[in-house]
Amino acid sequence: MTFAGITVIPDLDAPDLPSCVDYTKTLSKRGTHELLAAARESGQVLVQPRCGVGDHGRMVALLRELHEGAEPDVLSVTIDAHTRLSRFAEAERALHEDPSRLNGYPLVAHGWRRGRELNESVPVPLEVRHGSPDPRQLFVVAIASGITSFEGGGIAYNLPYVKDVPLTASLRAWQEVDQACGLLARHGVIVERELFGTLTAVLMPPALSLAVCVLEAVRAAQAGVRCLTMAYPQGGHAVQDVAALTSIPVLAARYLPDHVEVYPVLHQFMGPFPADPAVADALILYGGLVARWGGATKVVVKTNQEAHGIPDAAANIRGMRTTRVALSHLMDGFGVDDTAVRQEREWILGEVAELVDPLLAAPDLTEAITTAFRSGRLDVPFSASVHAHSAVLPVRDPAGAIRIGRFGSLSLSEQTRKRHRALIGAGEPGDDRATSIAAVTADIQRFSAYAP
């Protein structure tokens, strides 16, 4: 059996595509792509928490509690690790033995009927967030559940998450998902595809994050996707973060067709979080301000319990409320230096072009991407995958912006390399003063180590 061109495993028991399209059109709430368009029009920043537990009843209760407590614009269904890796039998076994062992909601094991119950339990749209290099079965259940917001991509949901899945395999699996989105669009159902530029989340140079998003976006657009969000992780330097966020519309205009809607999304800081709740709250507020200053259409919120494990609902509600303060008129009058943002943005755009232009000019983009990662011309720092060199080493400059201390084989010009070295304060190539383990560790712990 196939569903929108995807071969479906027998246990999935998925309804046919026309009935899923009809069901989705009857839902009495707006889809995410409609919310994004309205938010851009009004200047609003949508707020979304992360959330996902194994037990169905607890998941329904959690969604309702978050909605009642903070009125998020979009709610998440974070998927468990077994399902992310297509270990559906293990997910189902854990579900029956002790669902609290699962680190997310096993949507495939629960099935599309319960997925519809989730969807109907709250009046706002849901997004499936996972981390799967092969999301095809999960996508089918999500669509059958009426969920039309689906995160991930063939690069960003492979290299940061799994050790040994070939890029060709994940890129082709995600291509089937994007082609299914194209088919659904022709039936009048627009699926919002969020691209996870966050990657490994720690000290991510903006150009690498955005380059991966651009490559995945071009592939998605070619497959027929109509609505994309490009997610960028807050690095912790306001000028650089605002420059990166404001680069996204420029990149969309440069590389994507006009009929594809593209929206910038900020993930609040995803590195080691402060253990002190007051400092953590301040970092969350800072993230909300960066989202506002950078023109993000959506911000994905953290909690002040991040340093201690999976947050409870109260912490999630507090994180959303804190973020809304940053987005409110109470914070009018604050901002960043426009000239500094413009200069940083020009450098970021130039670096992205150096990374992606040679690949986009190749006759086969899938082959070009896999070859680039194989050679190290594209890379992901701190990746556990054998299919990334992880030879790139980011560091912070004295002002706190993220630069590249060790370039590996990245296809960046000598001019770009000189600028990074100059900003770090390093000397000629081979000068490791700025890339010592102690310096990089301190940069990673920049916020978690702070004590008032």
Task: Give the residue numbers marked as catalytic.
Answer: 84, 151
β-sheet bridge partners, residue 47: 299
The rounded distance, in Å, linking the Cα atoms of 191 and 64 is 23
- DSSP H helices in 15-87: 17-26, 32-42, 56-70, 81-84
Q: Please check whether residue 127 is in contact with residue 32, taking contact to mean a CB–CB distance below 8 angstroms.
A: yes
Tell me the residue type at 200. Answer: T
Kindly state the helix (H) or strand (E) to which residue 48 belongs, with its residue range: strand 46-48
Place of tokens 């201390």: 405
Q: Please check whether residue 36 is in contact with residue 307, taking contact to mean a CB–CB distance below 8 angstroms.
A: no
Buried b (16+ CB within 10 A) or exposed e, 125-149: bbbbbbbbbbbbbbbbbbbbbbbbb
Give the 3-state secondary structure percentages of the chain, helix then strand then coil, rounded to 5: 50, 10, 40
The rounded distance, in Å, linking the Cα atoms of 145 and 437 is 47
